[in-house]
Amino acid sequence: MPETPFVQLAELGQQLEQTSKRLELTALLADFLQGLAPEELPPAVRLTIGQVFPEWDERALNISWRAVQTVLRNLTDASPAIQEEIYRQAVDGGEAARMLLEQTRSQPIEPPPLTLLEVFHAFEALAETAGKGSQTRKEALLLGLFRRATPVEAKTLVKVISQEMRHGVNEGLMLEAIARAARVKPRLVQRANQLWGDLGEVALTALTRGENGLKQVELRLFRPLKPMLAQTATDLAEAFERHGGHLALEYKLDGARVQIHRQGDQVRIYSRQLADVTGSLPDVVAEVKEALGVEEAIVEGEALAVDQQGRPLPFQHLMRRFRRKHALAETVAEIPVQLHLFDALYLNGKTLLDFPYQDRWQALEAAAGQVKRVRRVIPTTLAEGQAFAEAAFREGHEGVMAKALDSPYTPGVRGKAWLKLKHVVTLDLVIVAADWGYGRRHGWLSNYHLATRDADTGRYLVVGKTFKGLTDPEFEAMTRRLLALEQSRRGSTVFVQPQVVVEVLFNEIQASRQYESGLALRFARIACLREDKLAVEADTLQTLRQLYEQQFDYKGRRGEG
């Protein structure tokens, strides 16, 4: 069977962009998959949704937009003015590449035409290019691809590199297409993807081995599962109502969620993004080897940075552990980490995903050995639950999780079986600048620079940025409003008169070297516009400093016992 030309995948992307109807999208994808050779299925499925490798695969392209622009300049003769105009018109980098090559290409397309597998193998080579001079070698590899690419193929290449496909095909829709192409039940395809976390391998199994192959799919040690996700509840009363009073509450720790795989002395730890973070947590690895009561396990928990008294440290200190590559022993001593388990997915050969949460907890209790579990209660009244949530706050934690006692574990699904209730603080801040958006927010000022007023100097100092909280019509209205207040521009940032006041939700105030204010908000998002307030009435830097210090009534502070 001849190799599939890459242009077929690129043209499929064009077709997908022309419709938003789910059935039509699914049919287009299924027809495409049915025409592929078995070895082409895994890369084709991943590339279609903007992935080269499975999410758990450590390899990454690490190609900057600047590198792409360098390659495009080698193939075109566009003046700076024409380039700027094309970038202004294009909705994303892929569309800009197509327009540049269509309008200003200075060299003919080189033969032979690209094939799907050639492109995939080229991306593999790009991901494996490292070390001294790697940037130059990557640009040479990219140039080799783009010399042979038609404008629409170049568009697709850039979209894969940026992981911004913008054709409406997400993982869920691709799973439907795989099921349709293979003529198998969608639930079998979804289950296989939950266990393997690789759409490409699932597609290969479904289209070559059918339902029998999918039914034999099993969970694999050292292949991380996507974490089960939670919806947000406004308060405990809502959680009690949704779960009919049959729920457990757990402390929601302000740490990093980890999934731990153990087989004897082999232990690997994965982040919620499925990255292998084992090397950053040698103390946790040692604890699992010594204290976990089973030889084979996949368990979930929270890694929490603590001070010498065991009080939780602000989240930013834990991130130092994850980023540190050298002098790790000193960092481990400086920022100790506690492990608190909250779920068991696999124990000694038995997969527990379909067991009710209450049964999984009991299995975890029996298997955890000396490893801590998160603090937990099964409240019989709302008042008891509220007292538990207040205790979590007083002990420096983020909030509580409410979990239905009868709920199975559904990897990658954000369902109502788990609800999160965070302690959230609000401030009134001033927008002093905004960045032009890209992708879906192209043409809008959508990343807002949030500032607080220094009561001593009257200056407005930035304490964070956010693009979260507004609807599309609100983005449009805010863009018009900010452009009317424009003072200057630098690159993609528009600086404005400090007049627009917004109420901002956030989870924590952190020390920051990035901002002149010395502070930064964590998880900032806009709750609403404060049309009733002038900028001079917004919260002050002095207020933020006071709130920052008050956090340590409940949290630990590095260096303090």
Strands 337-347 and 372-373: parallel
**Rounded to the nearest 5°, which phi and psi values hold at 510?**
-115, 150
Give 123's strand partners.
Answer: none
Evaluate whether 266 touches 412 at the Cβ level (below 8 Å): no
Nearest C-alpha neighbor of 136 from the set 70, 224, 232: 70
Task: Give the DSSP letter of residue 83.
Answer: H
Which position among 155, 252, 403, 422 bears the catalytic label? 252
Q: What is the rounded CA–CA span in Å between residue 183 and residue 178?
A: 8
Residue 252 is a catalytic residue? yes
Nearest C-alpha neighbor of 392 from the set 410, 374, 380: 374
Residue 407, burial from CB neighbour count under 10 angstroms (0-12, 13-18, 19+): buried
CA 316 to chain centre: 17
Q: What is the rounded CA–CA span in Å between residue 543 and residue 327?
A: 37
Nearest C-alpha neighbor of 5 from the set 118, 109, 111: 118
Query: Hunting for tokens 């003769």 — which residue is that?
Result: 77
| Cis peptide bond N-terminal to 112, omega within 30 | yes
The CA-based angle 549-551-555, given to 5 degrees, is: 120
Catalytic residues: 252
